[in-house]
Structure 1
């Protein structure tokens, strides 16, 4: 079992899926989990509740190694290159994760004052 670094957090975000998707039949919402290093803002690992392993791997390939501070770059990739029905749900869940991350950093800064 791997130890968790004290500088890492896990952020989750959820968004409703379109009813015509297979993932909706399985989950009804898309769930995203991002493991983030708070010192570097790098996404270290990621997972998503989609129906196919190819879609899950695409998500992971896009986000792992990217910075939470550059969420627009991540979202742009999904807007241009993800042609699945769950696109809007994924982008919404990513934005929720980003909001949670910004709030977390603000709270850390205010605790330090």
Structure 2
């Protein structure tokens, strides 16, 4: 388990509705994204998602770790679009965006 006490980190969360008609929607109507962000350099330290299969959350978290949120989400969007080839990709990006937006609102 990670120890966040030695870093200046915050936890932020975002949620998005999964599109109807997908298999994923039958399991859950929403996807949640939790990000732990270092406030000194605006970098994602860790992430978690509300998927039934833990491997999905682990994979997405590995894509986000080390990514900067200082200048928008272009790098994150590109990485997710190229490497997360699953139904609900748009909802995942929307949940990430909601979490990042919440982080930036707090920093202002």
TM-score between both structures, scaled by the size of structure 1? 0.81
Cα deviations by residue, 1:52-106 (Å, 9 ceiling, x for unpaired): 2321121011001111225210111111221111100001111111211221111
Q: Which structure features the higher share of helix residues?
A: 1
**Take 1:6 and 1:53, find their aligned partners in 2: how far apart are those partners?**
26
Unpaired stretches in structure 2, ≥5 consecutive residues: none
Runs of 4+ in 1 over 6 A off after TM superposition: none
Number of the residue aligned with 2:53: 52
1:36 counterpart = 2:65:
no
Structure ranking higher on relative contact order (CA contacts 8 Å, 6+ apart):
2
Cα deviation for residue 27 of structure 1 reads 3.0
Matched, 1:85 2:87: yes
Deviation per residue, 1:35-64 (Å, 9 max, x gap): 111001111111001232321121011001
C-alpha separation in 2, matches of 1:48 and 1:21:
18
In 2, Cα distance between equivalents of 1:6 and 1:58: 24
What is the number of equivalent residue pairs in this alignment? 106
Query: TM-score of the superposition, structure 2-length normalised?
Result: 0.84
Deviation at 1:5, TM superposition (A): 4.7
RMSD of the alignment, in Å? 2.0
Larger radius of gyration between Structure 1 and Structure 2: 1
Counterpart of 2:105 (choices 97, 103, 106) is 103
Could you tell me which runs of 5 or more consecutive residues in structure 1 were left unpaired when the two chains were aligned: 107-113
